[in-house]
Structure 1
Amino acid sequence: MMKRTLLALGLGIGLGASLAQAQEDVVRVYGWQGRLAPGVIEDFQKQTGIRVESATYASGEDMLAGVRYDVVFPTHFQLPALLAEKRLQPLDPARLPNLAQVNPDLLAVLSSFDENNRYAVPYLWGTVGLALNAPKVVETLGAEPEDSWSLLFDAKNSGRLAKCGIGLLDARLEAVSLLLNYKGESLAHSSKREIYQAGEDLSALRDQAASFGNASYVEALADGRLCMALAWSGHVLKASAAGAPLRFVTPKEGALIFIDTMAIPRQAEHVEAAHRFIDYLASAAANTRTARETRFYPVSRPDAPAMTQLASEHPELVVSSEQRRKFYYLEALDPARKNLVDASWSLLQR
């Protein structure tokens, strides 16, 4: 009886170890649509033996819906709310040696939203600007357009361009912030009246728009169903590289910059695998390859050899200091102001 008990215990321990190993051989990832690089993920699987199960979302609100995954990709301004709600777990720096390959300037910016960079690692960054189907815009306006938000936010221009098709992103914080910035205001310091007025203005623009959403606007621009759209930089740069007659515009009044990050939800089941996945993507080799595949900007140190090679092959993915002067970061909002933005955005859903 004793031998049988010991044998059963031995089998139980072995089975438990096998199950634990099997559980760590997968990592469930929930990322932005168009910002995961299939080739990079495939190489991670080959090198580690860890299977990646991935799903994508099209808006920040989808990511916040609370679906359980091992790695999520919150944008920088979402971090304070996630941390206040205790929805992320601290990262273990000892498991992230490639963090040393991340641009320290981006880490410094991120520390304003995640103190001491305890919960998130930069993944990619980009801007929100204007995408133009240049031939159609010139045909409609009769002249080369100025690089200005007035193309979208001045009713005289948007009214003319609506004839060839305008697209709006379903990105409430970004759209409201950009409109207020165009008016010389800051979302983080705007009054209730100013935020609601922005919602009214965007609602009127929504009535003119031929497209409202985040999934298919680039294809509509490329095939001429739209001539202008509020856009994320990487989507447009990737389509342009594939031959579409598109131009991404950084308006002179300023474009919004965002940092996508990598984080581990508090309820993650595969924490070790999640750390290995994040560390892999943080390496300069993987990060610059991700930038090549997605056309969003890399977060690697500027002096990394991989960045030098990227600059020679794809100079459009290495942003100059002159370009950076046109950018601003979207601030994290207090809950009351965030509720105001949500309420104003509801005007677009009528």
Structure 2
Amino acid sequence: MGERNDQRPPFSFPSLNRRTLMMGAAATGALSLAGLGAARAATQLAWMGWQGYDDPLKAGSFLKDADIELATTYISSNEEVITKLQAGGAGQIDLITIYFGHVPILSGAGLVEPIDEAKLPGIDKVFPQFLNVETIRKDGKLYAVPFTWGTLSMVYDPGAIAAPTSWKDCLKDEFKGKVAMTDDITGLISTWAPIVTGTKTPTRLTMDQLKQTIDFLITIKKEHARTFSPSYGESTDLFARGEVVISAIGWDAQVGFAAAKGKKLAFVMPQEGVMAFMDTLAIPRGAPHLDAAYKALAQAISPEGQKVIATNLTQAVINSDAVPLVDDVNRQVYRYDALDELFKLARFNPFWPLEEGGEFATFDQVQEEYQRFLKA
């Protein structure tokens, strides 16, 4: 994925199963005992995550005031975080960014600490629509703190076409060769599986349903899409050049990306619904500088910290007190004053099954089928 500001959504999923995960968790203790981590000063905060997500910690005088030295490790996928924690990073890393769908995997393997909400000022200002997502909780405990979010909505050019109402509108003959399609395994399958198969939960597909969905995506790719973009940034460039007017998958943040280029785009949530995503912050098990980690968490979700995310990355904030601080474009895109209405159409989906033997396709199988789509 490269830098977090490469205009791709922040989810990249590893090939995992329960056996490999638990083996990694067991190895964590042994490696920690082996003392592989170099000694660090008490105020040195070891942070691992997307580049740009550390910007709130660098803002103003926070690091100086908190007596923290930030040691950053940037990632190009969430897989790197999981692999690091499995291989002994737990006990050496203080704070991570992680896609919300991975939180049950990490909490189930004991790789992240439960969050003591009493130690986290500002947690009461986090929108409940994100704080109460079941995926980030286990047995009543919070294991990850909401940080930023978005929806994969339908993007279109309002100067060229009327507002669409259905995802299937992009398949009209009049738009052939003018459809934007982006490389996003999660977004593409989550968007089109309900339309193709009728499923209510696109991460719970039988193999037949998965194959049907992939076949349909191949048809869109070959017969409707202008090209297959590797990122939403490049997809936005196609809109800016007038090469496409509607998307088979989009990201609401593209409206902000385009505005920075002088191009007006808009997005809608089609009647079939859209996928919602959320990035979170979590504390790995045995974080060596727990107090500093909590200070950093508080700064990251503070109004000032959240403003940095909105300004620098054109992304959505999770703190209600941050809303007055963001610009008009950000407020128009993310509609903070209508979140309940938004989530009637936006869905947080569970992660794919990791183990074989059940009714539904595992993520390994999803990845295999997606390769067939990529090669088509």
Fold agreement, TM-score > 0.5: yes
Instruction: Rate the CA distance shift 1:295–1:267 in 2: closer, same or farther, 3 A.
Output: same
In the TM superposition, residue 126 of structure 1 has moved relative to its aligned partner by 1.0
In the TM superposition, residue 134 of structure 1 has moved relative to its aligned partner by 4.0
- 2:181 corresponding residue in structure 1: 167
In 2, distance between residues paired with 1:39 and 1:90?
A: 22
Aligned match of 1:109 in 125, 133, 139? 133
Question: Which 5+ residue runs of structure 2 have no aligned equivalent?
Answer: 1-37
Whether 2:203 is the aligned partner of 1:203: answer: no
CA shift digits 1:193-220 (9 cap, x unpaired): 0012112222343444523323632344
- 1:181 corresponding residue in structure 2: 194
Following superposition of structure 1 onto structure 2, how do residues 48-63 of structure 1 map, counting pairs within 5 Å?
A: 48-54=66-72, 56-57=74-75, 59-61=77-79, 63=81
Following superposition of structure 1 onto structure 2, how do residues 139-158 of structure 1 map, counting pairs within 5 Å?
A: 143-152=161-170, 154=171, 156-157=172-173
In 2, distance between residues paired with 1:59 and 1:180?
A: 24
- 1:212 corresponding residue in structure 2: 229
Contact 2:303–2:325 under 8 Å retained in 1: no
Aligned match of 1:340 in 365, 368, 373? 365
In the TM superposition, residue 263 of structure 1 has moved relative to its aligned partner by 0.9
Relative contact order, higher structure (CA 8 A, sep 6+): 1
- 1:307 corresponding residue in structure 2: 323
Contact 1:169–1:231 under 8 Å retained in 2: no
In 2, distance between residues paired with 1:63 and 1:216?
A: 24
Contact 2:59–2:308 under 8 Å retained in 1: no
Query: What secondary structure sits across from 1:348 in the alignment?
Result: helix
What percentage of aligned pairs have identical amino acids?
A: 20
Aligned match of 1:84 in 97, 108, 114? 108
Which of the pair has more CA radius of gyration?
1
- 1:264 corresponding residue in structure 2: 283
In 1, distance between residues paired with 2:100 and 2:287?
A: 20
Instruction: Rate the CA distance shift 1:112–1:42 in 2: closer, same or farther, 3 A.
Output: closer
In 2, distance between residues paired with 1:56 and 1:147?
A: 39
TM-score by length of 1: 0.75
Which structure shows the bigger proportion of residues in helix conformation?
1
Question: Which 5+ residue runs of structure 1 have no aligned equivalent?
Answer: 1-18
TM-score by length of 2: 0.70
In 2, distance between residues paired with 1:293 and 1:29?
A: 19
Over the aligned positions, Cα root-mean-square deviation in angstroms equals: 3.3
Question: Which is further off, 272-281 or 46-55?
Answer: 46-55
Q: Give the aligned length.
A: 316
Contact 1:76–1:258 under 8 Å retained in 2: yes
CA shift digits 1:46-95 (9 cap, x unpaired): 44342434455555555545375543222222211222333323334453
Whether 2:45 is the aligned partner of 1:30: answer: no
In 2, distance between residues paired with 1:78 and 1:248?
A: 27
Query: What secondary structure sits across from 2:156 in the alignment?
Result: strand
Query: What secondary structure sits across from 2:143 in the alignment?
Result: coil
In 2, distance between residues paired with 1:54 and 1:182?
A: 42
Question: Which is further off, 324-333 or 43-52?
Answer: 43-52
